[in-house]
């Protein structure tokens, strides 16, 4: 019950991040928004870790794992998605990001002997991708290949998320809070260095109140809290099942748009939701 609750929380946090990112980039560059959210997330995780009586003494192996996870699970995909989001339609972006759970389910048995590629996972992955296609409409495929570089950036981001799950599952750490703090801290240091190297600054002088609130939320929820949930769930439910959260993320985003922005989705949106939920059911249940 706890695992499914945390899985649902992770879907909610990541699903809500797209709305917050849209608000944040109104007055902040994508790189600066990523830097801000990661600094906030790292601060919360590190302070929380020490308040719990623990520390960041992880040894060389632990820090190597944290560096890889921080780069492939935070810095690289955050920057790639922010770059691609400036030109690629959100529906097509969601479809491309749907490669992450499919790649994870397919490759997991090659890396982890305890994760099998059963018929339920294959059916679930196929249904999930079909649900995304129904959610955003087949017309989004018309833009496939039109903007090759940003679409390749999204594909690399999706594969980056998949590789992070497989890597972190292959090299687990006993303390999820410690690994979450270390990986986000490493990512925060790297992204801040990237912003400074690009000639930017970290003063946030042009930031509006709405962008500030969005950045705070992104740091607390989709970065800090989500990192703890992610590293807690990964060794317990497996990389394949955990990555299926990417099918639920766009559904959460649509529902938040209905509730907060009073959007009125077309019929295909409501038809896609049970399809995606069915996919999650197939993949997460045991054969």
Domain positions in the chain: 2-284
Least confident of 10-19, 102-111, 215-224: 102-111
pLDDT at 191: 92
Residue 8 reports pLDDT greater than 60:
yes
DSSP H helices in the chain: 2-24, 30-51, 59-70, 76-84, 90-97, 99-111, 119-136, 148-170, 176-197, 209-218, 226-237, 239-243, 245-261, 267-284
Question: From CA 191, how far away is CA 223, in angstroms rounded?
Answer: 14
Alpha carbons within 13 angstroms on the beta-carbon side of residue 141 total: 8
DSSP 71: I
Question: From CA 127, how far away is CA 130, in angstroms rounded?
Answer: 5
Per residue in 142-177, pLDDT tens?
555 567 788 788 888 888 988 898 888 888 888 889
Question: From CA 195, how far away is CA 124, in angstroms rounded?
Answer: 40
Question: Highest-confidence range of 14-28, 97-111, 138-152, by mean pLDDT?
Answer: 14-28
Per residue in 36-49, pLDDT tens?
999 999 999 999 99
Burial of 250 (0-12, 13-18, 19+ CB in 10 A): buried
Per residue in 105-134, pLDDT tens?
777 777 766 666 666 667 777 777 777 677
Single pTM value for the model: 0.79
Six-digit token string for 105: 């389910």
Asked if residues 220 and 40 have their Cβ atoms less than 8 Å apart, the reply is yes
Question: From CA 183, how far away is CA 11, in angstroms rounded?
Answer: 20
């Amino acid at each position: 019950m706890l695992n499914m609750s945390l899985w649902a929380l992770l879907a909610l946090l990541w699903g809500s991040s797209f709305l917050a990112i849209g608000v944040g980039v109104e007055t902040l560059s994508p790189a600066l928004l990523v830097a801000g959210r990661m600094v906030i997330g790292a601060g919360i995780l590190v302070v929380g870790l020490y308040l719990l009586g623990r520390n960041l003494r992880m040894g060389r192996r632990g820090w190597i794992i944290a560096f890889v996870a921080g780069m492939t699970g935070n810095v690289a995909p955050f920057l790639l998605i922010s770059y691609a989001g400036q030109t690629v339609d959100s529906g097509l972006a969601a479809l491309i990001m749907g490669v992450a759970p499919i790649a994870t389910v397919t490759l997991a048995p090659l890396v982890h002997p305890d994760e099998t590629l059963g018929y339920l996972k294959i059916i679930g992955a196929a249904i999930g991708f079909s649900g995304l296609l129904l959610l955003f409409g087949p017309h989004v495929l018309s833009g496939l290949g039109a903007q090759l570089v940003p679409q390749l950036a999204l594909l690399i981001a999706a594969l980056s998320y998949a590789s992070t799950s497989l890597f972190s599952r292959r090299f687990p750490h006993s303390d999820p809070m410690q690994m979450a703090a270390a990986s986000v801290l490493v990512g925060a240091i790297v992204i801040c260095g990237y912003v400074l190297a690009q000639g930017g600054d970290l003063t946030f002088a042009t930031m509006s109140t709405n962008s500030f609130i969005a950045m705070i939320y992104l740091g607390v929820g989709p970065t800090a809290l989500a990192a703890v949930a992610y590293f807690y769930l990964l060794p317990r439910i497996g990389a394949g099942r955990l990555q299926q959260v990417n099918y639920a993320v766009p559904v959460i985003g649509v529902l938040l748009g209905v509730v907060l922005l009073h959007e009125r989705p077309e019929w295909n949106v409501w038809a896609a939701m049970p399809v995606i939920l069915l996919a999650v059911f197939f993949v997460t249940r045991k054969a």
